[in-house]
Homo-oligomer: A and B are copies of this chain.
Amino acid sequence: MTRQAPTLEDVAREAGVSRATVSRVVNGIRNVDPAIQAAVRGAIERTGYAPNRAARSLVTRRAETIALVVSGAGDDSESEQNLFAARVLADPFFGRVVSGVVGFLRPRSMYPVLMFAETGAARRDVVAYLRQGSADGALIFSTHAGDPLPAMLAEESLPCVLFGRPALPAPVSYVDLAHRDGARLAAEHLLARGCRRVATITGPLDLPAAQERLTGFQDTMARHGHPYVLSAEGGFTADSGASAMAGLLAGHADIDGVFAANDLMAQGVCRTLHESGRRVPDDVAVIGFDDSSPAYDCRPPLTTVRQPMEEMAAAMARLLQEQIEGGRTRPTSVIFDAELVVRASA
């Protein structure tokens, strides 16, 4: 015998007014006599009324919910399905993203629905979820180039905002960082320190962000008389950074500066460097990218290019909100500035 939850009707009866008036008070709209307002609030208090979300959504056609989607580019093979979520969350990057999104959403009493879309089926589920109005829009974080999700959502005109420019062109809004400038900052810092034999460990080069960090770095080095920069491709993980560094060292023992395309890889780089008996930054200077937790957990703490993840994530949420409220608007993009954070590693 679960006691029925009180409805607007009940409150209205209790307050001696109509449903409509209670609704007005609850939603704080239009001019309602202060006395009546007080009476209604009293009635709400007494009945313990809580508005029913489903009923409201039904008529407003708004779920007041947004999806936070981490998507990959996998097919339907289920091999890695369970690992995907764990791997994504293990990335320190993710905590800052959630933090930024939650920071924006919370004052609006909204909460993100967490979805992972690493397989075709999962991607279709995301589309279905949005189509049935369970969420009003999606914040997309692609972990791979070639992710078809943005295009799928654009196709259905479902509101969404991406983190980073889509690798596959799609007419969707996104928030990104001035990666080139960030990489330039790193290059200039290394040069200013007097590094002469510089290498870079890139992210997966099919990702636009990785590509731009590389070219930004190369261009700056070239402009300062270093037309060729040693480089190796990593996978944005610490281990990949460590082994890429080992590979580089094998051919070029005299490297004195390294720019890694993210902090995790920079951490791996430091590990390899230590193991090879080199000191950071005395023998080799290391610069990371992101300014995520590994940057200050690392020994020595990493000099890195800061990406204002929280602000970027909040901007994504804001853009999405505007898109949801404003109806069909044309794709927009917001580009944030990178900033060099100098710590001990370079």
Question: Interface on A for B, CB 8 Å cutoff?
Answer: 2, 5, 50-55, 57-58, 63, 65, 67-68, 81-83, 85-90, 92, 94-96, 98-99, 102-103, 106, 109, 111-116, 122, 125, 128-129, 131-134, 157, 238, 293, 297, 310, 327-328
Contacts and interface: CB of A to CB of B under 8 A. Distances in A.
A5 B134 CA distance: 14
A102 B132 CA distance: 20
A63 B99 CA distance: 25
Contacts of A52: 58, 132-133
A309 to B, nearest CB: 9
Given A115-B111, A132-B53, A297-B238, A92 B90 contact: yes
A50 B127 CA distance: 10
Q: How many copies does the complex hold?
A: 2
A110 to B, nearest CB: 10
A96 B102 contact: no
A67 B110 CA distance: 12
A63 B2 CA distance: 17
Given A53-B57, A111-B129, 7 more contacts: A51-B132, A53-B132, A54-B63, A57-B57, A82-B99, A112-B113, A113-B114
Contacts of A134: 53, 65
A89 B85 contact: no
A83 B157 CA distance: 35
Contact of A89 (B87, B95, B103, B238): B95
Contacts of A83: 99
A26 to B, nearest CB: 11
Which of A5, A50, A157 gathers most chain B CB within 10 Å?
A50
A116 B116 CA distance: 20
B102 A85 contact: yes
Nearest to A271: B299
Contacts of A99: 82-83, 85-86, 89
Given A54-B63, A133-B54, A98 B102 contact: no
Contacts of A115: 111
Contacts of A238: 297
